[in-house]
Structure 1
Amino acid sequence: MDRFEIRVILADDHPGMLAGVKHELASVETLSLVGEAANSTGLMALLETTPCDVLVSDYAMPAGEYGDGVSLFKLINRRYPDIQIVVLTMLDNPAVLHTLVSSGIRCIVSKSDAVTHLIPAIHAARTGGTYYSPTMDGVVRSIDWDVRSRNTAGVLSQRESEVVRLYASGLTVTEIAEQLHRSKKTISTQKTKAMEKLGIARDVDLLRYAMENGLTAAAATAATDAPQE
């Protein structure tokens, strides 16, 4: 009788994290590490030539040809629907986790939790199950799913959503203020309130949230549709 084995590929741009995960996986007989990559370019090339069952991937891997985050995971799901994904990340804000879970990612491990949580996460992913490490479980439980599903931006007001869209399109706070005929202070306050409601602390995470929730696509029409004051 053949031994049960899960073929795993690792993707992370931090060598130290890769080394720690490899060491942990090596101690589990049911897991076989078949490849590793440091960005989406190497990962996609690896997936083309190396059969695997579960991909363990960092959420943020800049500089890759295929991007990162949810857009990368969706691409992988389209090309390789049989591969299950475990996300390993430091990001733990509700907006990012809401986007991940809504896109079908059900196994998420925080880098702030023990790396041992990857083992049950990989096994759960392989069987189509769900696994959140303690930190992620706490955040996921705190999300008001009904509220966030009502509109693209969760609980944002129309004007807050408008500011986020324009900011994600590349405009500065000053430029948004000029375009919407509001004061710079008002725009800054609306942007800050939007980030607070989304549980986002960094501008880069706000941009990522906007891109992954289709807000950037709407940015071009936001100013046209906005009422003039």
Structure 2
Amino acid sequence: MESYQLRIIIADDHPLVVEGLKMRIACTQLELVGVARNSTELVGLLEQHPCDVLVTDYSMPGGEFGDGLAMLGLIRRRYSQTHILVMTMLENPGVLQAIGRLGVSCIISKSDDLSYLVPAIHVAGTGGTYHSPTIRRLTGSGLCDCATERRPRLSTREAEVVRLYASGMGVNEIASQLRRCKQTISSQKCSAMRKIGVIRDSDLIKYAMSVGLISPPG
């Protein structure tokens, strides 16, 4: 009997990550139909090459359609037949849960072994739910991690503002992308800094790196 071959698109702005994913997929019956580095390239690919499963990073700055929740929401609305698997370094439970509320039920952590990738793709292709061990722990379905529990709990919106700010966007740019007024963005940034206990933007960026909201440079 002929097996059903899933068509895959990879979206990630880190070339080494992409190469690792391509090597893993090459050893399977999965069909890789394209690779995108940002949301502009991703939407272009989806227009030209419909796929069964999109394997995408959460944070991919620089694209015309934004990234994070805004990008995932657009894909869910515009390409509803495409299942989404998010690969991320995120460690904020609120943001991870917000991804789930968008209808994205397959999430794996980049800190987990790459062996979780192919099973997650197959589950995503059936419309099922798959969380790698780190994601299960962070969202409360695994064992408690005391270090995580001690971290300040930012709201989903605060975490998204911190992520975008730490990635290099200004308050006005964030307000435009998230469709909120700049006063709201400034307020959410200040609220996040109070919760974290920092007063300098450089420390806010260090925090964003430490919890996986953005990747360290290099």
The alignment yields a C-alpha RMSD, in angstroms, of: 2.9
Distance 1:109 1:191, change over 3 A: closer
- Aligned residue in 1 for 2:37: 38
Q: What letter matches 1:39 in structure 2?
A: N
Compute the displacement of 1:55 (Å): 0.1
The residue correspondences of 1:141-156 to structure 2 (distance < 5 A) are: 141=140, 153=155
Distance 1:34 1:172 in 2: 39
Pair 1:88–1:167, CA change in 2 (3 A):
farther
Match of 1:24 in 2: 24
Secondary structure of the corresponding residue to residue 60 of structure 2: coil
Cα displacement string for residues 166-213 of structure 1 (whole angstroms, at most 9, x for unaligned residues): 77523698xxxxxxxxxxxxxx6x5445458xxxx95696xxxxxxxx
- Would you identify which runs of 4 or more consecutive aligned residues in structure 1 move more than 3 Å? 165-168, 170-173, 190-196, 201-205
CA offsets 1:84-135 (integer angstroms, 9 cap, x no match): 0000011121121121112111100111111121111111111111111111
Letter in 2 for 1:48: E
Contact 2:89 2:110 in 1 (8 A): yes
Q: Which amino acid aligns with 1:134?
A: P
Which runs of 5 or more structure 2 residues have no equivalent in the other structure?
Answer: 143-154, 159-180, 198-202, 209-218
Query: Taking every aligned residue pair, what percent have the same amino acid on both sides?
Result: 44
Call closer, same or farther: CA 1:168–1:26 in 2, change over 3 Å. farther
Equivalent AA in structure 2 for residue 17 of structure 1: V
| TM-score w.r.t. length of structure 1 | 0.65
User: Normalising by structure 2, what TM-score?
Assistant: 0.68
Q: Check if 1:101 corresponds to 2:100.
A: yes
Q: Which has the larger radius of gyration?
A: 1
CA distance in 2 between counterparts of 1:62 and 1:105 reads 20
Which consecutive residues of structure 1, in runs of 5 or more, have no partner in the other structure?
Answer: 144-152, 157-164, 174-187, 206-229
Is residue 193–residue 204 contact of structure 2 (8 Å, CA) maintained in 1? no
Equivalences, count: 168
